[in-house]
Structure 1
Amino acid sequence: MSRVVLHPRDLAGCEHRLSLDHSHPDQARTRPDTPEAQRRKDAAADHRARVREMIRGLHSDQPAGTVVLVQPGTDHATRVATTLAACRDGAGWIWNATLPTDHEHGRRGHAELLIRGGDGYVPVIVVNHRVSYPAKPDRRPNGSLGAGSSTLTSPVWTWAPQPDPSRNGRNQRRDQLRLAQLTAMLRDLGLAASDDPQDLRGGVIGLDADCIVVHEMAPLLEDYEEIFERRTAIAEQRVATTPRRIGECRSCPWWVRCGPELEERRDVSLVVGGNQSVVLNDAGITTIDQLAHYRGDPPGDWPGNAPFDDAVLTAIAWLTDTPLIRRLEQPVVTRADVEVDVDMESYGEHGAYMWGTLLTDNADPSRPVVYRAFVTWEPLPTRDEGRSFGEFWTWLSAEREAAHEVGKTFAAYCYSQQAENRWLVGSAKRFAGVPGVPSPGEIEAFIASDEWVDIYEAVGRNFVCPNGKGLKRVAPVAGFTWRDAEASGEASMDWYREAVGLGEATMDLTQRRRLLEYNEDDVRATKVLREWIDGSAKQDVPHRDQVLEFRDHGGSGTDRHGPRSGPRRT
C-alpha cells in the first residue's frame, strides 16, 4: 500500500498546516502564493541561477559530461530519467538532480547538486540564507580563529571536506531535514556515497556561495526518521492536530481559518510566543482569561529571558484592548541638542541602497528640520552603493563634529539597530578605500558609543507592547500615520525592483519617489515616537500597576468602550 508522499518542506514548521494541506488537497494546490512568498521564491531562484553559472564556469575546462544540467522546464519524469542516466554515466556534478518519487516509503525531493563522492553521490542544496559566519578569535594566548571548531567545509569547485577553524556553521533545521530526506532516498536507490551511515555527508551552499558547509548525516538521520514517521501520521490524519499561533501564522494561508478558531476559544497562544504557550498549556493555562487572572509563581519551565508578568499584562491588554502598557513611572529616552534620526533601506542580502536622515537642532529652533537621503539607484549589487554610503557617513560625521565643536550634545537614532549595524560594519569592510567610507574600527566605536541610540530598545525598556514592538505597531500610539497605506518592509522590496528595473520588472521611476517618502516617514515616525516617550507618554499610557488591577475588579473581557465584538487582529 502506498503511503502519503512528503516533500522535505513538510518536515518542518506547523504540524496543523501539514494536516490541513493534506485534508484539503484541492485548496492547497489551487491557492496562489502570497506576494511575500513569491518574492522569496524569485530571490531564491535568482541565487540558484548565479550558483549554477558559477559551477559551470568552474568546470568549463573539464571534459564534456563532468557537469550535467537537468533542465528545469521539462516534466518530472524527464528530469528523473536525465538524473538517473547521469548517475549511471558517473557524472561528477549533476545540477537540478530530481530523484524518483518513492511511493513505498512516501518521499520525494530534488537536490540542486549531486556531487560524485566515494561509491555514489553526495546531496548538496543551495539556499538563499547564510549558512556560516566568521569564527570569533579565540581568547587564549595564541589568539587563533575558532580553535576547536568542528565546522566542516569544502571548496565550491570540488568535494574535499576539511575542518574549517575560520568558520562557525549556522545550521537551519529545514536544511538539515532536507539533506536527511535526500540521503535516505539516495540510500534506497543504491546511489549513496557509502553503505556506512557514519560515512555519509551532505552539503549546503548558502548566500555567500564561497564554500560548501558540510553536515555529518548519521546523527541527523536518526532524528529525521522519528520526525518523518510523525509527520506521515499527521498527513494521513492518524494523529490529530489543533491550531496554535506561532510566527509562521503571519504568512500562512490557513490563518483565515485558524485565527477565528483561536479567537473563539480565546487561546492563550494569541498573546504569548509559541514555546511559552506550550509551557502554559502544560501547566493547565489554556485560555487568555486564565492567564489574565493568574496569580502566583511562573510555571516551572517558563523561559528565564521572558518576564512572566509581561505575559499576564499582555493577556489583560488583549481583553481590554490596551495597545501599550507603561513599565516605568516616568518613561526615559536619550535626548540631545542635535538629533539625527536614521533609517536604512536594503534589498535582501544584496546591499543597502539608501540611508535616510532627519536632523533636528533643539538648541537652534530657527534651523529647519530637514530630511536628507543618500541613495544609489544603480541596481544592487553595485559599487555605487559605496559612494552613497561614503556620502552618508561624511555628512553624519560632519554634523556630529560640528555639534561637539560648539559644545552641543549629539545623538543619532535608529529603530532596531541590528539591521543598521550590520550594514554599517559590512559597508565599511566592502567599500574600504571609497571616498568617505570609514574604517570598520571607526564604525564599531560609533556603534558602541552613547551617541548611537536604538529606540526599539528604548520602547522595550519603557513599555509592554501587546501588539508587538515594530515601529508600525508602536508609532501610531504616539499619533504618527504613514502617508502610504501599503507601506511595509515587504512591499518596499517590490517597489525597489520596479524603481531600478531589476530582473524582469519594468522600470517605474515613480516608485523611487514612493521609496523616498516611505523612508522619510520611517525617520519621522522615529522622531515622533521618541519625543512622545519623553513627553506625554506618561499621561497617555496606563502604568502596569493600573492594568494589573483588572484582576482585583473581576475583569471579564470587556474593554474601556464596552464588550469586545468580532475577531481581533494579532
Structure 2
Amino acid sequence: MTAYAEPSPVTTEPADEAVAGTVAEPAVTRGGPLLLDARAARSCPVKTQRRFDGTSVLPPAQPQAFDDPLALRAEAGRRHRQVVLEELIDRCRGRVVDLRLLAADGSDVQVAATRRALADGVDVVVGGVLPPDHDGHRTGTPDLLVRGADGPQGPTYHPALVVWHHVLALQTPRTGQDPVEEGAPGLAWTSFEEPAPVEPRRRRDAALRLRSEERDLRELAHHHRLLEAAGFGGGPAWGGLVGTDVPTGTGRALVWADLAEPLLRTYDAEVAGGYRLETVLERYDGAFARRLAVAQAARRGEPLLAPVVVRECATCRWWPVCRAELDDDDVSVRIDRGALDRLEVEALRGLDAGTVTALAHADTDALLERYLPLVPHRSHAESRLRTAVRRARLLEGGVPFVRETSGPIEVRAGSLEVDLDIESSADGRVYLWGFWVERPDRPDEGSYRAFAAFRDLDSEAETALAVEAFTWLRALVEGEQEAGSGPGVAVYHYSGYEPSTIDALARRSGHPVLAWASAYAREGFVDLLDVVKEHWFGVSGLGLKLVATHAGFAWRDEDPGGLNSQRWFADAVHAPEPEARAAAEARVLAYNEDDVLATRHVRAWLRAAG
C-alpha cells in the first residue's frame, strides 16, 4: 500500500499535458500494423482518430521563436529529463545500459538491444524501446526500465518516467510518527543509488498527487502491459516517476505507484456513496480499448468522434482541422471555464442542446431528465449542467460577471498593506518578487519594491533571492509590530500560487527566513481570489486579468500575461543586444508592477462594493 493524495480523480478522460513540443505528434498511419503509443490512452481520442483516418492531413508544424514561452517550457522539460537521466546513470550502483545513442540506428536495432539488456538482467535500462505488442496493438519507449524481483522466467522490470512537474503533495504526519520510518505505510520511493522497487522505502509526510498524475500513471500502465507481453512484467505492478520535486533529503529519487492497487475513484450509482475504487491498470485498459476502437473504425473509414474542445487543443497540431469542423456556437468552443468533458458535450449534442444558444433557451429540468442517464460516469452531473446553463445564459446576454451577494464586502485590513505578485521563468524558477507597499491613510505615498535576478537561476540562487525578499518583508512586519500602531502588516495576493511557492521553497531549503515567511503566509496573507469567489460568479472564470479589467484597471502593456512575461524574461537574459536585454527587463518590471497594482485595485473595488 502506497500513499496517494486525495481526492483521487473521478473523470475518465483526463486532458493531456498542455505543453507544446514535449512530444512530437505520431505520424499519420494509413496501413501496416495498428500500434498505439503510451500517450494515446492519456490524450484526446480525436487525435488518435486523425492519425488513422485516411482523409485527415496533419497541418505542418509552425516555427517557434527561441523565446516562445511554450517552446521554452518544452526545452526546460527536455533539459530536466537529460539532467535527471545523467544523474541516475552516475549515481546508480548497479549495471546501467544507456540506449539513447541507438536512436539513429532505427527502431529494430533499439528493440533488439533493449530485449538483450533485459534478458541479461541489467539493473537499469535508459532510453529503451520495448518490443511492439502486435496482438495488443501497443508500442512504447519509457525513459527507464528498472529491474525488480526475479520471476519464474528470470528478471522482471518496471517502467519509470521523468516528468516536468511536481508529483508529490506534502502531508503532515500524525504526532509522534517518524516521517521517514522504513517499512511503514506511506509514499514508496527508492534512491538513485539503489532504484529497484523490491523493498521500497516509505514516507508518511508526502503522497502522490493523483489528480494531476493520472496521465502519467496511464502511460506507466501502458508500458507495464508491454513488459507483460514481452515476458518481463513483474509483480507488484510498480510504475515509477521522477518529478521536479525532491522526495528525500538526499536528493532526487524514484517515486513508485502500485498500478494494481485500487486507488482511483470512479462514479458508480449502484454503490453506496456513489463511488468505487479502480486500479490504474483498469482505468488504463478501458481508456486504451476506447482509443483502439476509435483507431480501428477510422482505418475502416468510419470515424466515431466529432471534435470537442479540451485543454490540449491549445497546443495540438490537429487543432486547425478540428476547429474547422466545430460550430462557432458549440458549447465546448464558447464555455471555457467549468468546461464539460467530452461525454457530457456529446450527450448535449445528441439532445440538440450542443450550442450555447440552444442550451441557454433549454428547459433545464426537462433537459436533465434526458441528460443524466447519458452521463453516469460523472459525479455532480446535475450541478455541472446547471452551471453550464447559467454560463450559456450569461454569454447570450453579454454579462461577464454576476454579483451573488449583497451588502458590503469585508477585506481584512492592515496598518501597512502590501500587495505581492511573483514571476517565474519557463523552468519554474522564481526570478522576481514584486511588492506594492502603502499605508491605507496615505495611499498617494505607496511604492513598488522588486527583488529580481535577471539571469538563469539554479536552486541556490532562487533561494537566495527569496531570502533577500523575505528578510526585507520580515523587517517591515517586525517594525510594524514594534510600533504597535495598528493591526500590523497584511499581505494581499491573488490565488494560492504565492503562498504555495513560499512553502515549497521553505521546505526545500530549510532556511529560517523562508520558514518564517511560510508561517506568516498562514496568518498574515489574504487571498483576494477567495474573497472574489465568495461574492462573484464569472462566466469565463475569476482570473486576475478578467476581474481587475472588469473593476476598471488597465495594464500598461498591450499584451500582458504570465506566458508572455516568460518570453520577456528569456529576452532579458539571452537577447544578443544589450539594448534588447534592457528593454525586456524594463518590460517585465513594469508588467509585475501593474500586477501588484491590479491586486491593489481589486482590493479597493471589493471594499467599495455595497
TM-score normalized by structure 1? 0.79
Partners of 1:133 and 1:57 in 2: CA distance: 28
- 1:114 matched to 2:145? The reply is yes
Give, in angstroms, the shift of residue 342 of structure 1: 0.6
Tell me which amino acid in the other structure corresponds to 2:499.
N
Give the SS at the match of 1:71: helix
Aligned mate of 2:497, from 395, 403, 419: 419
CA separation of 1:79 and 1:374: change in aligned 2, threshold 3 A: same
Equivalent residue, structure 2, for 1:273: 338
Aligned mate of 1:125, from 140, 151, 161: 161
- 1:84 matched to 2:84? The reply is no
2:73–2:426 Cα contact (<8 Å) kept: no
Partners of 2:287 and 2:588 in 1: CA distance: 44
Equivalent residue, structure 1, for 2:79: 46
Partners of 1:68 and 1:515 in 2: CA distance: 41
- CA deviation vs aligned residue, 1:499-556 (integer Å, no higher than 9, x gap): 3349xxx993433222212211211121222223333x66xxxxxxxxxxxxxxxxxx
1:500–1:507 Cα contact (<8 Å) kept: no
CA separation of 1:222 and 1:307: change in aligned 2, threshold 3 A: closer
Give, in angstroms, the shift of residue 455 of structure 1: 1.7
Aligned mate of 1:216, from 258, 262, 268: 258
Tell me which amino acid in the other structure corresponds to 2:422.
M
Equivalent residue, structure 1, for 2:17: none
- 1:494 matched to 2:553? The reply is no
CA separation of 1:351 and 1:40: change in aligned 2, threshold 3 A: closer
1:151–1:169 Cα contact (<8 Å) kept: yes
Partners of 1:333 and 1:258 in 2: CA distance: 46
- CA deviation vs aligned residue, 1:423-482 (integer Å, no higher than 9, x gap): 22233344445xxx5262x33442232x42112222212211112211122222222232
CA separation of 1:27 and 1:268: change in aligned 2, threshold 3 A: closer
Give the SS at the match of 2:101: coil
Q: Which runs of 5+ in 2 are unaligned?
A: 1-30, 247-251, 261-278, 373-377
- 1:353 matched to 2:431? The reply is yes
1:386–1:427 Cα contact (<8 Å) kept: yes
Tell me which amino acid in the other structure corresponds to 2:81.
R
What is the count of residue pairs matched by the alignment?
A: 518
- 1:179 matched to 2:220? The reply is yes
Q: Which deviates more, 404-413 or 275-284?
A: 275-284
Q: Which runs of 5+ in 1 are unaligned?
A: 539-570
Aligned mate of 1:201, from 238, 244, 251: 238
- 1:234 matched to 2:275? The reply is no
Partners of 1:22 and 1:508 in 2: CA distance: 46
Partners of 1:324 and 1:72 in 2: CA distance: 56
Q: Which deviates more, 23-32 or 316-325?
A: 23-32
- 1:246 matched to 2:307? The reply is no
What does 1:398-547 align with in structure 2 at a 5 Å threshold? 398-404=475-481, 405=483, 407-409=485-487, 410-416=489-495, 418-433=496-511, 438=513, 440=515, 442-449=516-523, 451-501=524-574, 508-535=581-608
Give the SS at the match of 2:142: strand
Tell me which amino acid in the other structure corresponds to 1:361.
R
1:317–1:466 Cα contact (<8 Å) kept: yes
Partners of 2:418 and 2:328 in 1: CA distance: 46
Give, in angstroms, the shift of residue 295 of structure 1: 6.2
1:2–1:103 Cα contact (<8 Å) kept: no
Partners of 1:41 and 1:216 in 2: CA distance: 29
1:161–1:214 Cα contact (<8 Å) kept: no
Give, in angstroms, the shift of residue 275 of structure 1: 4.5
- 1:323 matched to 2:400? The reply is yes
CA separation of 1:241 and 1:26: change in aligned 2, threshold 3 A: closer
1:3–1:105 Cα contact (<8 Å) kept: no
Give, in angstroms, the shift of residue 115 of structure 1: 2.4
1:350–1:380 Cα contact (<8 Å) kept: no
1:154–1:212 Cα contact (<8 Å) kept: yes
Give, in angstroms, the shift of residue 255 of structure 1: 4.3
What root-mean-square deviation, in Å, do the aligned CA atoms of Structure 1 and Structure 2 show? Answer: 3.5
Bigger relative contact order (CA 8 A; separation at least 6): 2
1:68–1:91 Cα contact (<8 Å) kept: no
Q: Which deviates more, 395-404 or 39-48?
A: 395-404
Give the SS at the match of 1:98: coil
Partners of 1:399 and 1:199 in 2: CA distance: 54
Equivalent residue, structure 1, for 2:97: 67
CA separation of 1:16 and 1:309: change in aligned 2, threshold 3 A: same
Aligned mate of 1:170, from 209, 212, 215: 209
Give the SS at the match of 1:353: strand
Partners of 1:377 and 1:266 in 2: CA distance: 43
Tell me which amino acid in the other structure corresponds to 2:41.
L
Partners of 1:150 and 1:383 in 2: CA distance: 29
Give the SS at the match of 2:122: coil
Give the SS at the match of 1:508: helix
CA separation of 1:183 and 1:382: change in aligned 2, threshold 3 A: closer
2:364–2:389 Cα contact (<8 Å) kept: no
Give, in angstroms, the shift of residue 336 of structure 1: 4.3
- CA deviation vs aligned residue, 1:164-203 (integer Å, no higher than 9, x gap): 143322242222222222222223333x144xxx444332
